Structure formats: C-alpha cells, structure tokens
Amino acid sequence: MRERKSYASFLYAAGRLKKVKRTGWIVRHLPDESVADHTFRTALLAMLLSDLIDSAIDKERVLRMALIHDLAECYVGDWDLETTNTIGKEVKKRVEETAIKKVLSFLPAQIASRYYHTWKEFEENSSKEAKIVHLADKLEAVMQAFELSKFGYSKSVKREFERNLESLELTQELKALLQVFMEEIKRWEK
C-alpha cells in the first residue's frame, strides 16, 4: 500500500502562492501580480522554449521544474534582490530549503524526494533544463515589465528587468531564442 500523506495540505500550501505578491512590483509601486500568476506564465514559456530547441531536452522535467521553482515562497514569500542582498544569499538559500522541505513533507517520501531534487536542480542551475527554466523565469518578468510600460508605467523598470537577463548562463540556442523573443517583445512598444 502507498504511503499516505496529506495531498490536500500540499495543494493548500501551494495554493497560497495565489496570495503571495511579487515583491519586485510592490516595491516599485506597480500593479502587483501573485507568484502563482508568474509561475503559470513561466511554465508556459519554459514549455515553449523547450519545444523550440532542437537538442534533446527532458520536457517533462522542464515543466515540473517550472511549476515548483518558486514553491518555497508559499511559506517565505517573494524576496526581491535588495532583500536577498541585505540578508545574504546563503541565508535565503537555507530559509528556502527549509520551506521547500516543509511543503513537500505533505507528500509521500518518494514523490517529495523527486520534487525536492528537481527544485534543487533549478536552484543550482545544473542542467540544460534548469537553464531553460531560469531563462523562462527572467523572461516572464521582462514580459510583465513591458506590459506594464505599455500601459503607461515606468519604462525604467523594463530596462532594469532586461539587465537581469544578462547574468544568465545560456547556451547558444537559448541566446538565439532570447534574441527572437526580445525583438518580438520590443515590437509591442510600437
């Protein structure tokens, strides 16, 4: 018989992401979005990116990773770069690791372990799949910033989020796709 845990508690905890607001928008006094909003489009974007790449990519792993990459935030909230720099990346890493283990504790050990290792792979950016999800994560924020600027909000925010893309470790394939996406997004301004 399968190990019985509280599946509903896991889903309830994950559902908290619908109420956790993305800090980057709040501190800039922009219309907020929830972490769940961000996660949804990040997952769609990661799926699309993985389908556009010719190389062998584990698409299921990409989707799983995109869906759980911010799951720890259901307990710790969304920390912007300033907060992370203030408390330190190592502290943030420990706090998020504790949180992800807490939310996964509602699941059977084998499933929790698989989800944890997928989350860890994203955190360490240790695979082609993780690099796709990292790009999707940052590109989704750029898209949100461009959408806000189109509706009259500060254009400086979109430039700030564009700069975040520069720090990503990308394969040549992903760099080419990023360029295509950015050209298309910039056409929104016209």
What DSSP letter does each residue of 1-18 carry, written as one string? -PPP--HHHHHHHHHGGG
pTM for the complete prediction? 0.88
- In tens, the pLDDT along 167-182 reads 888 888 888 888 888 8
First to last CA, the chain: 60
DSSP letter (8 states) at residue 152: T
State the Cα–Cα distance between residues 180 and 36, nearest whole angstrom. 26
Query: Domains plus CATH for the chain?
Result: 7-187 (1.10.3210.10)
- In tens, the pLDDT along 93-115 reads 999 999 999 999 999 999 999 99
